[in-house]
Structure formats: structure tokens, C-alpha cells
Structure 1
Amino acid sequence: MIESPVGCTIDYTRQGKQVGHLSLQKITNTAGWASTFVQLAQIANGDGPTVLVLAGNHGDEYEGQVAALRLLQELEPGQVSGRVIVIPVLSKAAAKANTRNWPSGANFNRSFPGRPDGPPNEQLADYLTRVLFPMADVVIDMHSGGRSAWFIPCSHMHVVEDPAQRRAMLEGMEAWNSDWHYLYIDVNGSGLLPVEAENQGKLVITTELGGGGRVPAPVHQLAWSGLTNVLRHVGVLEGEVQTRASLGLPPAVILDGRNPANIVVSPEDGLFEALLEPGEPVSVGQPVGRLWFVDTPTRPPLELEAPLGGHVAVTKAIPVVEQGDCVFVLGQPLDRSELL
């Protein structure tokens, strides 16, 4: 196997706090030999699990990036039993450009397992696959709907086949203490970061923390409180683990989004008007949104109906839609016992 071309300025075997970077080779019009830096930190102290905290998988999903940057600054070795490795912005150029994908057009979350001799996104994916995931016991990958969608703020998970791994992931998902949780499936291709970590047997915890181009203060608070509580839950961070009961909150709602019929796309170009908000209940055939037509303003709007009952989980945040764009996503309430 070809050795990874990705460089790293920190020593994973050292105790204490280190802040450094990964380096991806590049050639530009202003430099024949250059590197792209991906910042990371390690906070290590004694024995305990290794937790890999990742954000900015997609560039325009900032909720997790802010929480991970705060963790990098505030977490000190004395608070840790084990090791926390933080990469706050995986897709830095995309984050700076406020785009989902890399400038090359690559979707980093479809780059796994990656290749050491591939383009930069695949080189970075290969480094995570062959270097960082094998070190980790827990992988946290924070997402949101980005600019294009508003996803009800939640932690979520794949329903993996292994019962012990599934139970651990369910309990980790619940430790975020969000009002909602979501069970999702892979759509639009393979190569997802969480799937690669799951295939290596890791406890994988993921989120969808809103989106729509703005991060409300309560979402920032949920990103931080959920992340730190999960770190306590897995035993790497000092402090008492909080539960929804201990916080005086009712049980969270788990929405099952595994039926592909839950994902509704626009049949035509137009302007999308949401009629329901994420979290609201919906019945079969109920209009969730309407499509208006710029070029034919006298044409009545087209109602887009729910193919299934349940709750709205996602709505399109940008009114302008092209044919085939996802305009809303549904989910059906599920009792946690059904996952066990």
C-alpha cells in the first residue's frame, strides 16, 4: 500500500495538548511547491478512549465548526481521560467560500475510503481511513443542512447491523440531548465518512444541526452542550453525564427516515413555498409546500403533498429550486425499543 502523502505536525503518541496541522500537497499559479493546511489538535492525558471530533465535512455547515473550534481552544489535558483529536474544519476552502463542495467540485462526504494517489479530497479521506479511524474508539461527525436546507436540529444515526454497535450508537445519539433524533439512509451515492468509520466498528455519532444559511443562538448552544455531553458519556471528558430527565425535559422523539419515499423532490423548476415547518406533524396527502412558476405567473401553484404520514424533518431553505432538488423530507416516530 502506498504511504499517505498527508503530513502531520503533531505526535499522536505524546501526552498533553498539541495544536498543529495536516498538510495536503498542491501546486498553484503562484507556487510550484505548496501545501493546504487542515488544522487539528490533540488533547491527551492518561488512559481512556480516543475520540475523533470532526466538523466542516461540508464547507457551509458551520454549526459544528464553531463548536469544534471552541473545543480546541477550551479543552485542557486535566479534563481528559484518554485522548481527543479535533479537526474543526475538514473542508477549509469550501468553508471559506460558503459552499458545500470543495472548489474542485468534490463532495468530501463521498470521498471514502479515499486513495493516497488520488486528488486532495481522496488523499485526506485516505488519511482518516488508514490513520485516524483505526486510532479512534469514537467518531463524531457534525453536520447540518447547510445553506440549502433547514434540518430539524438533531443527532442522528445509521441503523447498523451489529447489535452491540447499534446499541452504543443509539445511546451516544441520545446523549446529545436534542429534542429530536433521526434515522437516516445513504442517498446520492456511496463513500460517506460515517459509513467508513462504522465499517471499522467505531461508535459513530452524527448530527444535523439546522442549516439554512444562519445559525441561531440556541443551535450553537445545542451543538456545544451536545458535543461536550457526548464526550462525558463516552468517558473521555470529566463531569457528570446529563440526560433529558436530569435536565427536566421530556423524552426525545426518534424519527425513522429510512423509507426512501420520505425524500420528496421537485418535479419542475420554480420557487418553493414551505407550508409546514420541520417538527410539525403531517398526514398522507397533506400539502407540505407549493411550487410557484416565475415564467408563467398566471399558472396556479403546484401543491407538493406528503407521500407518508409522520413529521416534517427537513425543508428547502432556498426558495429557488431546480427539477429534482429535494424540497422536503419526512420521518415517522419510532420507539427506541424497536432499534434494540
Structure 2
Amino acid sequence: MKSRVTSAIDFNALGMQSDYARVPYSSDVSAYGWIPVPMVCFNGGNGPTAVLTAGTHGDEYEGQVALRKLVQVLSRTQVEGRVIILPALNQPAVAAGRRNSPLDGGNLNRAFPGTADGGPTAMIAHYVATELFPMADLVIDLHSGGSSLDYFTVTLAHPGRDDGEAQAVRRLLDVFAAPYSIITDGSGGGAKSTLYAAAEQCGVPAISTELGSGATLSRHGLAIAQDGLARVLRQYGIAPDLEVPQPERTQFVKFIREGAIYAPCPGLFEPFVATGEQVEAGQVAGLVHRLEDVGSDPVELRFKANGTVAYRRFPTLTATGDALFGLMVVQ
């Protein structure tokens, strides 16, 4: 079914255009209204097309700011190819400062490929998958730890469905050049329901990122996003005049499932290590102070494997089943 989302942008017209992806939404206060998802298109004619998104989760800010800054940069730069930018993809979640949409509870990065006649989250996913991906030669979806995680700076990608796609993904990771890169099947997260997994199914090389911690702005993560975006647009011939810093070589790592630690009970989480630290099997990772039993000893958490801390829970208050730590190792 064709997407019900519309836009006044003519993606084939030359120059810069700014409008919205207009998502139909009937509410108590607006029977025939639509949700305005901001979108900017730069088209310089012949050349590859990059689709760049952020705000897929509304409480992750490095990507949102990086794409807004990129709009200003590209408005003063010669663009040879085409760049489609959506810095607040899940606009209801962005406006609310929440991971998921307050309208339907939808987690956009668990909603792909979406449906044309679903709720707002499903319609946004369907529009991206059916209208934008067919135009794209590469996709970058910028994420951070958001309200619940302190995340090390990494890029992530699905492996591609054949050798040619694998090489295209590897090139995109190498050019973006975050400190660490992970090729994953997504089994520890959204599996095939994420934006970059859906791009893979369309044959488009795509990467995602994790750039910061908490519902705030990391200047380090922001710089990685800005530099990586500029390198990609220059190296792919889309904005060849951009000045970019010389990157360090990205290091390829992988998540280890036995490295994950989850909260065994409700309580107050006291971590003993930070993201980026090297840890060993048997090392004490932290404590959970039981919320309802002040007189009992706290629950001691220990790592079950050697590795580097990839992420750590950000809030202190925790519930049974919350992810507290994840580990990665060099491939």
C-alpha cells in the first residue's frame, strides 16, 4: 500500500527545500490534522543520495543537533548529489523528550518496515521504508544512549545480504570513522525492526550510532557525529568541498552476550565501573541496593567475561530486568 504520508518537497527539483513529512493524525483536538515531521532536501543534480535521520528516539540529542548544524553548513556549500535530512524523525517523541511516541507508545526503532494504515509511529516507519529508501544510496541514523543508558561512542551496522553489500557497509563504517564499529545481526536489540535493518532489506548500506549518555548533549559525541557526517558527504562525492579532519582508523569490535548484566530486583544501582573501562570475568561490577528491604545486604553484581564496558545504565533507580551493563571485545 502507498504511504499516506505526504510532503510538499519535490525530491527531483534542484536546490534546497524545507517542509515536513505530513503524517495524518486524527485527535480529540484536530479531527483532520497531521503531525509535522521536519525535513530538508538539498539537491545538486547528479550524484549519490544520502538519507540522514535523528530523533528516531526523542530523548537522544547528539544526532538531532548534528543534523540541524549540518543543514546550516550545506546551505553554504556546493552540493553535487542529494541529501535528505530528518533531524526529528519521531517528532512526537522529540517534542515530549521521550524515547517512545506519547501518541501511540510506539518505539520507532522497533516499528520498521511499518504500515501505511497504522498509528503515527507505523506510518513514519512505512514512509521512510517505502518513499525514502528507494531514493537512497546510503543511510545514517544517529542514536545515543538516551535517558536510560550511558553508551560508549560506537557505530553499528547490519552485515549486508551478500559480499557486495558487506563491502558497501564496511566502507561506510570506515569513512564515518567512529572510534569503534560493530557489525551486528541486531539480536540483542531490535533485530529486523530497526531503521538500519530495514535499509539493509532494501539493499541500501546503512549505519546507526551510539554517541552519548543520558538525556543531555555530549560535546564529544556531537563532534564525532559532525565529523563523520562531513567525511561521508565528502568521500561519497555529495558535498566534495566540505573540510573534514583526518580520521583515526575505526576499530571493529563485537558485543558479547555473556557480558550483559541485568537487574535482579528493584533497587538503587551503584556502578563500580564506567563505559570504556576494561573489565575481567569475576570482577565486581556494582551493587543493587534492594528498594523494599533496607536491612538486607545489597546484591553484588559480577562480570562473567572479559571485555570493555560498552554501555551502563544511566539512572540509579532500577527495576527487575533493566539492562545494567553490556560488554564488547575486539574482533
Q: Is the 8 A contact 2:230 2:244 kept in 1?
A: no
Query: Residue 81 and residue 320 in structure 1: after superposition, are their counterparts in 2 closer, same or farther (change >3 A)?
Result: same
Deviation at 1:161, TM superposition (A): 4.0
Deviation at 1:241, TM superposition (A): 8.0
**3-state SS of the aligned residue for 1:311?**
strand
Percent identity over the alignment?
33
Is structure 2 residue 126 aligned with structure 1 residue 126?
yes
8 Å Cα contact 1:113/1:126 also seen in 2? yes
Once residues 273 and 159 of structure 1 are traced to their aligned partners in structure 2, the CA distance between those partners, rounded to angstroms, is 36
Name which of 298, 303, 308 aligns with 2:300.
Answer: 303
1:128 deviation in Å?
1.1
Aligned residues: 328
Mapped to 1, the partners of 2:326 and 2:31 lie a distance apart of 46
The yes-or-no answer on 1:73 pairing with 2:75 is no
Deviation at 1:82, TM superposition (A): 0.9
One-letter amino acid of the structure 2 residue matched with residue 32 of structure 1: A
Aligned to 2:149: 149
| Deviation digits for residues 161-188 of structure 1 (CA, Å, limit 9, x no counterpart) | 4222222212211322322223342335
Task: Give, in angstroms, the shift of residue 31 of structure 1.
Answer: 2.1
Q: CA RMSD in A?
A: 1.8
Amino acid at match of 1:212: G
Instruction: Supply the distance in 2 between the matched residues of 1:78 and 1:167 (Cα, whole angstroms).
Output: 29
1:163 corresponds in structure 2 to 163
CA distance in 1, matches of 2:145, 2:202: 26
Question: 1:338 maps to which residue?
Answer: none
Residues of 2 paired with 1:144 and 1:151: CA distance?
A: 7
Determine the structure 2 residue equivalent to 1:29: 28
Query: CA shift at 1:122, angstroms?
Result: 1.1
Give 1:242 deviation, angstroms: 5.5
Residue 43 of structure 1 aligns with which residue?
Answer: 42
1:121 CA displacement: 1.2
Rounded Cα–Cα distance in structure 1 between residues aligned with 2:250 and 2:17: 37
Alpha-carbon distance between aligned partners in 2 of 1:186 and 1:143, rounded to the nearest angstrom: 18
- Residue 255 of structure 1 deviates from its aligned partner by 1.9
Shift of 1:107: 0.6
Deviation at 1:223, TM superposition (A): 1.7
TM-score under structure 1 normalisation? 0.91
Equivalent position of 1:83 in the other structure:
82
| Unmatched tracts of structure 1, length 5 or more | 335-340
Which residue does the alignment assign to 1:224?
Answer: 226
Structure 1 stretch 205-214 or stretch 10-19: which is displaced more? 205-214
Q: What one-letter code is carried by the residue in structure 2 that aligns with 1:271? A: L
Give the match's secondary structure for 2:211: strand
AA aligned opposite 1:163: D
Q: Please say if 1:14 is aligned against 2:16.
A: no
- For residues 195-217 of structure 1, the C-alpha deviation after alignment (integer angstroms, 9 at most, x for no partner) is 11011111112110012122122
Whole-Å Cα distance in 2 between the matches of residues 241 and 254 of structure 1?
A: 26
